[in-house]
Structure 1
Amino acid sequence: MIKLKINNKVVAVEDGTSVMKAAQQMGIDIPNMCWNDELEHFTSCMLCMVKDKKNGKLYPSCSVKVTEGMEVITDDDEIAESRKTALELLLSEHVGDCEAPCQVACPAHMDIPKMNRFIAAGKFDEALAVVKKDIALPAVLGRICPAPCEGACHRKTVDEPVSICLLKQIVGDKGNPAPVPELEQTGKKVAVIGAGPAGLAAAYYLQLKGIQVTLFDKNEKAGGLLRTSLSAEVLPLEVLDREIAEIIKTGVIFKGGTAITLNVFEEMKAEFDALVVATGVISGETENFGLQAGPKGIVADKNSYQTSDEKVFAIGNVLRSSRLAVRSVGQGKEVAFAVQQFLKKHAVKGEPRLFNSRFGRLVKNELAEYLKESVDAKRIWPEGGTGFSNEQAVAEAKRCLHCDCRAIDNCKLRNYSEAYNADQKRYKTSERRTITKQINHGAVVYEPQKCIKCGICVRLTGKYREKFGFTFIGRGFDVEIGVPFNEALKNGLTETAVKVANACPTGAISLKKE
């Protein structure tokens, strides 16, 4: 056995063990992209750098074997900067969107592509569950939202954007909401003041986190401007009432006809563990509730919505006047994260946002590549403003180009880029590579421009003796990974497709079905 020190702790491992494996045996996770436990290793990504404590030199822990008396440091500022640089070099050639442009443009940050895929499969209940993860009032917003998401849709480059809002509307109208789960109660109480779109959303998402919400409004019925400023032709009251009822069903206590004066506000601060102000445009009547305010409204942190009083959060038009209800609904969802963090005495940062790779607009030659996973059909315009039929919705959803990454939830490149605050543009020196998609396989899709050339797929297909498999093609900076002899993807991966897709660290090779 070999004895060494890792982060000043002694460990004994077998001779021939790599420094990375020795660290793993101690429960220390060293970042890596090209490592695979069942393969012989060669150094590629340079992400697993560690330091020799004796001489201060950095080296890749995956390829260096332990020696007697070795002293290793696995994390300090110099190592972190080295890893960040390695990630930024990998990102400089990585071409792919983590999140679809429509999702980035949506003020509520809804997972639009996933909704579209469920609708395309005729699964309206599952689509509704996706929407309500981010939007508490889908049928309402499907009717009134000005659709900033559609302005960012890549399909717009081909012909016309996908009709996202009408798809959201039919999901809200025809999808069956999931039963309210049995929630583990935290014992905390929060008051939400104002039952417009922002307050309703905040109440809904806080309640789902096990926090008892009491929702106050000066009007007898909830809805705010949704109820009073829109015609029945635009937003039928039965639609609004139905979605409000779904929110109340989670356990929210609604107290309408309640005027909140400054004195009442102070009493509420003593009674509740936190307050969310969502009253709409501030007036002299509320006197800003004693909170710091500017010319546009109450001043709050842009990420957490925490005000000058740490116990009070503010969202919606109380911050600044806006006619965009989807923005208010999105803030209602986001503030729930911040309030929960505050109640748990964690750092109050708001909804987590991960690193997001973006490549910009599609170029002409890429349109055909994206249409491989879509249909060549024009946008559907329902007659009479009644919305889609089920059949029309399925057909329209199939127009989605699948711009998001299939590996968004388990991409090592994304996760590590977030952890090390990597800058995707730092080492950009040339025009980006043109996106291509290889989909002629029953189980997987290969997008070469997402590949970081870690070689895992090459080694796996070699180990399992694929007839063609994958190999390195070309030399130097122009090297690519692909099936040799210009064979089709389906011939390269006949036995190992799923194994290779699961091992890929970036989603360059990914399973077709989620």
Structure 2
Amino acid sequence: MSFNSWISKRNIMPTIKIDNQTITVAEGTSILNAARSAGIHIPSMCYMEGCSNHPTCMVCMVKNNANQQMIPSCATKVVDGMDLASEDSEVKEARKEAIELLMSDHVGDCEAPCRVACPAYMDIPKMNRFIANNQFDKALRIVKEEIALPGILGYVCSAPCEKVCRRKDVDQSVSICLLKRFSEEETQDYLLEKKKASGKKVAIVGGGASGLSAAYHLLLKGHDCELFEKYEGVGGMLLASVLNGDLPTEVIAREVAVLDQLGLVKNCNTEVSKEKFESLKQEYDAVILANGTDGEKFGLEAGKTGLNVDAGTYATSHPKVFACGSVIRTQKMAVKAIAMGKEAAWSVDAYLNEGKAKATERLFNSRFGTLRKEELAEYLKESVEGDRVEAKSPKGFTKEEAIAEAKRCMHCDCRKLDNCRLRDCAEEYKIDRRRFALGERNSVVKYFNHDSVIYEPEKCIKCGLCIEIAERHGEKTGLTNVGRGFTVKVAVPFNQQLKQALSIAGKECAEACPTGALSLRSN
């Protein structure tokens, strides 16, 4: 072979096929990066640019069509002529199984039990942390992203969240409802920003909790809303709480004033007849029925308890009409009625923007169950000792009381709630987290003796990224694999503390961790 021929051969770049798409890349490129260069999505968890790629998670598998073998794309270099599949059913099932295996010994909740139990799905732990840090406006923002009438619920909510609060296994549950009331009363003039006007109009029939909630969320989405209420004022069944002395009238007035500021048009003393309903369907882009038990007169399909709706989208038998609250079935919990109004509004928003109603879906949530007695001490590392703080005034907490009570929260949610690759993959592949969960689970342990990071080893997938990053930074101790086979754990060697092991690389390790095993304490 001549020198020029040899040079020419050396300069040939390998060409491969992934899902019948031809890709030419530089020699030495991994299959994963070759796919990414062509816009092909392959999930990965243990891969990080610039680090050694040890295919521990096996989530990035692709299939070699030549021999039907599964290979890890992050650690396999391209070879000219490769023909690979990244999207067929076998590959997807193999990835799903790999994620289920990783999840089988994952001991950690994505969402705290209190948030899961809240019908309105409010991010309770985050609210608590903001209150504890004296950031009351941020706390109210968290509340008002999910709940239209937090001041009202602060008085009348039946607090299902408090019934599952893990703090009650130590002493007493966190006073979540009163903290929610405090956040609203402390920052009364706070308004979320509205989206740009959509030009769409929605009619809402009924001014109770569900109708007001629907109006609130639709207004925030940029739609015009007009409410029709047959009585003199809005409030619906909430007014019974006023008569009972459980809810001050000024609280309802304050919440309604917020809706007025957002642009709600109210028509009180206006009963919607069947004829009026027909005109609303013509004049408005969508109609939401939230008029209590008075819904069947409109000629829509009804069942035993009220109007029939699609369970996810709240759509009725008429494509333009939606329903929520007691018009479907009697709602005894105000928070449930408010949650239904929000979900109906979000479905209507999808209908107005995309032409099709859409159900509100919750993301994958890892749950490990009840805390063991020995685990309570681990969770208390993130809290303070002491019984529930009782408000000295019937009006609720003072600032000092609210801060003290919020600090009792034990941070049961994951610090990487929004950027955990394990959760993202579990959601994408719709896994069964119990499929390989055999035997007794490991106990929760929290290494909290570091200024900026926390380590929870039972969330670790043994990817080795933190070990390599610590070594690259010249950490004297760093982290290492301890044990062999299925019992291996990433740990601090020589009985050192975490702050000694990660004196330099702590933040970078936490940011690189694909799960919530290593995370920043400030999250």
Normalising by structure 2, what TM-score? Answer: 0.95
Residue 185 of structure 1 corresponds to which residue in structure 2?
Answer: 197
Which of 454, 460, 464 lines up with 1:445 in the alignment? 454
Q: Which amino acid aligns with 2:286?
A: A
> Residues of 2 paired with 1:13 and 1:509: CA distance?
34
Which of 200, 219, 241 lines up with 1:207 in the alignment? 219
Describe the SS at the equivalent of 1:230.
helix
Describe the SS at the equivalent of 1:352.
coil
Residue 389 of structure 1 corresponds to which residue in structure 2?
Answer: 398
Residue 7 of structure 2 corresponds to which residue in structure 1?
Answer: none
- Rate the CA distance shift 1:229–1:86 in 2: closer, same or farther, 3 A: same
> Residues of 1 paired with 2:147 and 2:36: CA distance?
41
Residue 157 of structure 1 corresponds to which residue in structure 2?
Answer: 169
> Residues of 2 paired with 1:485 and 1:112: CA distance?
39
| 1:135 correspondence with 2:147 | yes
> Residues of 2 paired with 1:428 and 1:293: CA distance?
43
Q: CA deviation at 1:169?
A: 0.9
Mapped contact 1:127–1:175 kept (Cα < 8 A): no
> Residues of 1 paired with 2:167 and 2:191: CA distance?
35
Provide Cα deviations, 1:311-330, integer angstroms capped at 9, x if missing partner. 11111111111220000111
Q: Which amino acid aligns with 1:342?
A: Y
| 1:148 correspondence with 2:157 | no
| 1:399 correspondence with 2:408 | yes
Aligned pairs for 1:66-465 within 5 A: 66-181=78-193, 183-231=195-243, 233-282=245-294, 286-345=295-354, 347-383=356-392, 385-465=394-474
Q: CA deviation at 1:55?
A: 3.1
Q: Which amino acid aligns with 2:417?
A: I
Q: 296-305 vs 400-409, which deviates more?
A: 296-305
Q: 223-232 vs 185-194, which deviates more?
A: 223-232
Mapped contact 2:290–2:325 kept (Cα < 8 A): yes
Describe the SS at the equivalent of 2:242.
coil
Q: CA deviation at 1:224?
A: 1.3
Q: 332-341 vs 417-426, which deviates more?
A: 332-341
- Rate the CA distance shift 1:346–1:458 in 2: closer, same or farther, 3 A: farther
- Rate the CA distance shift 1:113–1:182 in 2: closer, same or farther, 3 A: closer
Mapped contact 2:194–2:222 kept (Cα < 8 A): no
Structure 2: gaps (5+ residues): 1-12
Mapped contact 2:194–2:219 kept (Cα < 8 A): no
Aligned pairs for 1:58-73 within 5 A: 58-73=70-85
Normalising by structure 1, what TM-score? Answer: 0.97
Q: 225-234 vs 80-89, which deviates more?
A: 225-234
Mapped contact 1:262–1:287 kept (Cα < 8 A): no
Q: CA deviation at 1:384?
A: 5.5
Mapped contact 1:291–1:309 kept (Cα < 8 A): yes
> Residues of 2 paired with 1:348 and 1:455: CA distance?
44
Residue 10 of structure 2 corresponds to which residue in structure 1?
Answer: none
* Aligned residues: CA RMSD: 1.4
Q: Which amino acid aligns with 1:427?
A: F
Structure 1: gaps (5+ residues): none
- Rate the CA distance shift 1:384–1:436 in 2: closer, same or farther, 3 A: same
Mapped contact 2:316–2:323 kept (Cα < 8 A): yes
> Residues of 2 paired with 1:170 and 1:69: CA distance?
65
Q: CA deviation at 1:420?
A: 0.5
Aligned length: 511
> Residues of 1 paired with 2:76 and 2:355: CA distance?
39
> Residues of 1 paired with 2:518 and 2:297: CA distance?
54
Mapped contact 2:296–2:302 kept (Cα < 8 A): no
Q: Which amino acid aligns with 1:4?
A: I
Mapped contact 1:125–1:177 kept (Cα < 8 A): no
> Residues of 2 paired with 1:468 and 1:180: CA distance?
47
Q: Which amino acid aligns with 2:349?
A: Q
Q: CA deviation at 1:418?
A: 0.8
Provide Cα deviations, 1:322-379, integer angstroms capped at 9, x if missing partner. 2200001111111122111112236533223100000111110001100001001101
Residue 49 of structure 2 corresponds to which residue in structure 1?
Answer: 37
Q: Which amino acid aligns with 1:227?
A: L
Q: Which amino acid aligns with 2:414?
A: C
State percent identity of aligned pairs.
49
> Residues of 2 paired with 1:183 and 1:348: CA distance?
19
Describe the SS at the equivalent of 1:279.
coil
Q: CA deviation at 1:288?
A: 4.2
